[in-house]
Amino acid sequence: MVTRRAALVGGSVVAAGAVVVALVAWPDDDGGGESGRRPGRAPTSSAATEPTPEPSRSYALSKAPRTIPAVREHAPARGPGWRPGPGGRVVVGDPGLLDEARLLAGELRLRYGGEARARPGDVRLDLDRGAKDRNPESYTLTVKDRTVRVAAPAEAGVFYGTRTLKQAVRADGAAPEGVVRDAPAKPRRGFMVDIARKHFSAEWIERRVTELGDLKYNELGLHFSDDQAFRIASESHPEVVSADHLTKEQVRRIVDLAASRHITVVPEIDSPGHLGAVLKAHPDLQLRDSRGVATQGAVDIANPEAARMVDDLLREYGELFPGAQWHIGADEYQALVRRDPEAAYPRLAAAARERLGPGARVQDLATRWLNDRVRTVGPARSVRAWNDGFFRGGVTAADERVEVAYWTGKELGVREPVEYLREGREVVNYNDEYLYYVLGEPNDFVYPTGQRVYEQWTPRVLRGTRPVDAAYDGRILGAVFAVWCDLAGAQTQEQVARGIRMPLRATAQKLWDAREPARPWRDFVTLAGQVEGGGG
């Protein structure tokens, strides 16, 4: 009696006769197709006069690539996927993508092939100017026929597609078959570091830029002027610069590196408060109260020379930082933390009435200061100021295009976030409950954890732990994770890098997709170790 049995060959089940058996060797795991097949053994009986058909390779349906942040949409498919190998190239369909292509080629140890058609084993980068999704940060990543194609409406989207590919290869050795369609939920995804209170080396900042790029951040904030120090070289006022500082050449290298990762460097010269380092060289510009006592860090906003000094610096650094974003501070002006500013600072009160009318108060003079600095920065840039630099009532209002950098609900005359949103203001989230890493943990601050951010925070949580109504979501531009160096010696640069590692990754995830993450926190931590490019 002739029996039949099932033979498992190369992962597929095929029927094999008891008399005639064909042994088939499958292609290599990289899906080599016809060129990778090896001929089977010849039939052992003359009864087999026809060639034995070779079955097709069977693949499981692919899963989404494992990345941080996670991709928002993946259409699975069956196929071998793509992995970097000998002979593989990165080619482009547009010469404007040369930088993205060369970077990816170096990271994946491929060759840069210039403008060319993709062949098996290649990655092709394209600008798809006719894409339905016009978000410049969106992209499509297609893995098919052992090739990868990344296409986007703009270079930024192509770059983010290469970050997805790089992370997928690091996590699993390959990019899965199928199509990724991806875009960020929020247009502002930032990290800020207080380099005024603590000097950070240019090399440390550059390492953070590389890290931010891989996590699809698009802003790096540099708070470089405060009461403690002024940390960037100046030609217009060299007398205000601290001994430990960044040279302009170092800053240009940081700005250029950031631009290559589609990151805007956002400078901040905080005024009219937090100017102690400037006032050390210009004590004549310091604000004094009715008793003649100097007010910490505050310039006299009634003194035209104070405005000229700050405007000199803003214009000078406008050339050094060509990006479209500026931060002009405006927080914690000490004249306005008094219960009766008009009584405490009669000279400011008199100047307010003289310049702005009989009903004007000191807060109106401060608002006028803010608006004048906005004009100095110019109309070509978006400008933001801290939320405690905006005041309720008064005879003047902040320029309507100034964005609110919302960080606290602890100021005198506290205003809820919805007040700004109802006014039609656009808001950037700096929530000090989740997004403030304050060295030494003074004033009841505690170091934020990635797990808290990952499991509890969203961009709508602007103050404390409660989100604002979803109706306001469109006016919340995004968020910034901030390092403040109140007690500068509490941690070294390397300790800061380690401490912010997981909070930065969790924030990146929630800014790219505010929905509850599908991956449990422990798995997220494990994945971070697999995809990260190193740091510290």
Q: Report the alpha-carbon distance of residue 318 to residue 313 in Å, rounded.
A: 8
The region of weakest confidence among 15-24, 45-54, 199-208 is 15-24
pLDDT at 292 over 50: yes
What would the two tokens of residue 302 be? 């009634």
283 pLDDT tier (thresholds 50, 70, 90): very high
Is position 536 within any domain?
Answer: no
Please say if the pLDDT value at position 7 is more than 80.
no
**Section 116-121 average pLDDT:** 97
- Beta strands at 74-76 and 178-182: parallel, antiparallel or unpaired: antiparallel
Q: Are residues 349 and 288 in the same domain?
A: yes
Q: How confident is the model at residue 31 (pLDDT cuts 50, 70, 90)?
A: very low
Decide which of 50 and 180 is more confident: 180
Cα–Cα–Cα angle for 59, 61, 65, rounded to 5 degrees: 110
pLDDT at 13: 34
**H-assigned helices in 285-410:** 304-320, 341-344, 346-356, 362-377
Query: How would residue 27 be classed by pLDDT, with cut points 50, 70 and 90?
Result: very low
Number of domains making up the chain: 2
Q: What is the CA radius of gyration of the chain?
A: 29
pLDDT in tens, 470-527: 999 999 999 999 999 999 999 999 999 999 999 999 999 999 999 999 999 999 999 9
What integer pLDDT is reported at residue 57 of this predicted model?
A: 73
Please identify every residue annotated as catalytic. Answer: 332
- The count of other CB atoms within 10 Å of the CB of residue 422 is 11
CA 182 to mean position of chain CA atoms: 16
The range of the structural domain enclosing residue 307 comes to 188-519
**Residue 297 to residue 332: CA distance in whole angstroms:** 10
Q: Is residue 44's pLDDT more than 50?
A: no
> Given a cut of 90, is residue 255 above it in pLDDT?
yes
> Is 230 a domain residue?
yes
Q: Is residue 204 part of a domain?
A: yes
Task: Calculate mean pLDDT across residues 416-442.
Answer: 97
Domain membership of residue 481 (yes or no) is yes
Residues 166 and 203 in one domain: no
CB distance 297 to 276 below 8 Å: yes
30 is a domain residue = no
**Pick from 182, 197, 228: which residue ends a domain?**
182
Same domain, 253 and 354: yes
Q: Specify the pLDDT at position 193.
A: 98
Please check whether residues 262 and 365 belong to one and the same domain: yes
Banded model confidence at residue 134, pLDDT cuts 50, 70, 90: confident
Exposed e or buried b per residue across 330-360, where buried means at least 16 C-beta atoms within 10 angstroms of its C-beta: bbbbbbbbeeebbebbeebbebbbeebeeeb
Shared domain check, 229 and 363: yes
Q: Could you tell me the pLDDT band of residue 45, with boundaries at 50, 70 and 90?
A: very low
* Same-domain pairing of 385 and 313: yes
pLDDT band at 58 (very low <50, low <70, confident <90, very high): confident
pLDDT tens digits, one per residue of 336-359: 999 999 999 999 999 999 999 999
Within a domain: residue 1?
Answer: no
> 140: part of which helix (H) or strand (E)?
strand 139-144
Domain at 455, CATH number: 3.20.20.80
Residues 313 and 403 in one domain: yes
- Other residues' Cβ atoms within 10 Å of the Cβ of residue 137: 23
- Pick the last residue of a domain from 134, 156, 182: 182
Query: Can you tell me the distance from the alpha carbon of 472 to that of 422, in angstroms, rounded to the nearest whole number?
Result: 8
5, pLDDT greater than 60? no
Inside any domain, residue 42: no
Percent of residues, the chain, with pLDDT higher than 70 = 89
pLDDT range class, residue 22, cuts 50, 70, 90: very low
- Higher per-residue pLDDT: 11 or 180: 180
Mean pLDDT for 168-174 is 97
pLDDT for 536: 33
* Same-domain check for residues 164 and 193: no
Angle between helices 248-260 and 304-320 (to 10 degrees): 50
pLDDT in tens, 353-377: 999 999 999 999 999 999 999 999 9
Contact 364, 395 (CB under 8 A): yes
The confidence score (pLDDT) of residue 403 equals 98
Q: At 87, which CATH number?
A: 3.30.379.10
pLDDT band of 533, cuts 50, 70, 90? low
Q: How confident is the model at residue 87, as a pLDDT?
A: 95
Of the candidate ranges 27-41, 190-204, 238-252, 503-517, the one whose mean pLDDT is the lowest: 27-41
- Tell me, rounded to whole angstroms, the distance of Cα 313 from its chain centroid: 27
pLDDT of residue 413: 74
Alpha helices for 357-429 (secondary structure H): 362-377, 417-422
Where a domain ends, among 182, 203, 235? 182
Cα 250 from chain centre? 21
Q: Looking at residues 243-268, what average pLDDT do you find?
A: 98
| Distances 377 to 381, 405, 535 between C-alpha atoms, Å | 7, 17, 34
Which DSSP category does 387 fall into?
G
Determine the average pLDDT of the residues in 167-180.
Answer: 97
pTM above 0.75, yes or no: yes
444: left (phi over 0), alpha (psi -120 to 50) or beta: left
Instruction: Please enumerate in sequence order all residues whose Cβ is within 8 A of that of 476, keeping only pairs 6 or more positions apart, or say none.
Output: 186, 421, 426, 427, 428, 429, 459, 460, 462, 468
Question: Count of CB atoms within 10 A of residue 452's CB?
Answer: 16
132 pLDDT tier (thresholds 50, 70, 90): confident
Residue 99 belongs to some domain of the structure = yes
Indicate if 209 and 352 belong to the same structural domain. yes
> Which is it for the CA torsion 501, 225, 216, 467, positive or negative?
positive
Instruction: Examine the domain organization and report whether 128 and 262 are in the same domain.
Output: no
Mean pLDDT of the chain: 90
Same domain, 193 and 164: no
Q: Are 418 and 301 contained in the same domain?
A: yes
